[in-house]
Amino acid sequence: MEVQIEDSWKQVLAPEFEKPYFKKLVDFIKSERQQSILYPPGPLIFKAFEACPLEQVKVVIIGQDPYHGPGQANGLCFSVSDGQKLPPSLQNIFKEIHRDLGKPIPTSGNLERWAQQGVLLLNATLTVRAHSPGSHQHQGWEIFTDAVIQVLSATQLQLVFLLWGSYAQQKGSIIDSRKHLILQSPHPSPFSAHRGFLGNSHFSKTNDYLTSHGKSAIDW
């Protein structure tokens, strides 16, 4: 099956595109698109991979599914397009960066600048029906993104995986903790951020790990 995805990722993920689950997933997306509005727009579904080729990945942040409101989802987890209001979880992420590193809180929630530095902003589910959170879960995307994480764990060295909340933490079992740093905390959602996300210092810890292994720090 021909899937439009960045070349370095295409090489390692090509076997997934031929598996029955992926073909069923494509059929599901096509059917959904005929009767509903889906986010993000088709050209942005694999934006996380385009913005951060495999060999450039240093950090992996795992989200749940895309934002489901008009104009929000841009293919990068937790990120919104320029001009969009900052969602509550992203506000808390910026608050923690400010507390941890003293950086000013940005006015734009577009995180493409992180991706360009080697942060893979990966949602576990890459599409969603408008105004219906979780509507594309358990259709095959999670199998695909598990494969992405397994490829990263197996082929790369000294990555940092940021697992916020129980949903992301389920992915921890397929990451080799002997080769990579796994940082876990509650989710930055307003419902849980005060139970340990705020104050987790994950951004400075990430940079300390990267620089200790000869990699450049992320300008958060």
> Is 65 a residue of the active site?
yes
Q: Please name every residue paired with 39 in a beta bridge, in sequence order, or none if there are none.
A: 128
Catalytic residue among 7, 27, 65, 208: 65
Alpha-carbon gap, residue 187 to 165, rounded angstroms: 4
Alpha-carbon gap, residue 76 to 44, rounded angstroms: 9
Nearby residues of 192 by Cβ (< 8 Å), 6 or more positions away = 165, 186
133: left (phi over 0), alpha (psi -120 to 50) or beta: beta
Q: Which two tokens stand for residue 202?
A: 């994950």
Q: Which two tokens stand for residue 60?
A: 């992996």
By annotation, the residues acting in catalysis are 65
